[in-house]
Structure 1
Amino acid sequence: MAVEAERPVREGWTDPTADRGKPAAPSTVADDAIADADATLRRIRGEIDDATGDRDPDLEAQARVIFEHGGFGFTPPDLGATIADAQGGEREDPRRPIVFEIVRGAGPDGIGPEAIRDVIARLHPDLEVPHAATIGKWLGADPRVHKPKYGRYAVRPSKGETPS
Structure 2
Amino acid sequence: MPHPNESALFGLLTAQGISHETHEHPPIFTVEEGKDFKEGLPGGHTKNLFLKDKAGQLVLICALADTSVRLNKLHKVLDTKRLSFGPEDALWECLGVRPGSVTLFSVLNDKKGKVRLVLDKALFGPKQVWFHPMRNTASTTISSGDILQFCEAAGHHPTIIDFAELSQS
| Superposition TM-score, scaled by structure 1 size | 0.20
Query: Larger % of strand: which?
Result: 2
Higher relative contact order (CA 8 A, sep 6+): 2
